[in-house]
Structure 1
Amino acid sequence: MFAFEKRYLVCVLPFIGFAIGAFLDRKETERMVLFRDKSALYARPDGSMPKTPSW
């Protein structure tokens, strides 16, 4: 029925890898957005003017 040739895999496999990588990158970005403005590293010192969150 379906004959998988080496040329077919060489052409299609990079596109599949790119799609999986792009998907995982988007998911990681969505996960990291949850921590935006909550990190102690970027916290404002006490006594400064309150600032609304960037989102």
Structure 2
Amino acid sequence: MVLGLDKRALWGALPLLGFAIGHFLDKKETERMTMFRDKSALYGRPVGNEDKAPSW
């Protein structure tokens, strides 16, 4: 018994903790990938269209 919680309560909280950590890491990865928006050669615009606004 830790802090008044039995093992069943701790095992029940473990998936929620895993979900919260995964959600946090996914948000951070999305935030990091915004630096690379519209910079890919595969999905980039043809040269000469610098006057257009970004697609996002």
Same fold (TM over 0.5): yes
Looking at both structures, which has the greater relative contact order when contacts are Cα pairs under 8 Å and sequence separation is at least 6? Answer: 1
State TM-score, norm by structure 1. Answer: 0.75
What RMSD in Å do the two structures reach over aligned CA positions? 2.2
Q: May I ask how many residue pairs the two structures share in their alignment?
A: 55
2:6 maps to amino acid: E
In the alignment, structure 2 segments of 5+ residues that lack a partner are none
Moved segments of 4+, more than 4 Å: 47-50
Mapped pair 1:25 → 2:26:
yes
Please report how far the alpha carbon of residue 50 of structure 1 lies from its aligned counterpart in structure 2 after TM superposition. Answer: 4.2
State TM-score, norm by structure 2. Answer: 0.74
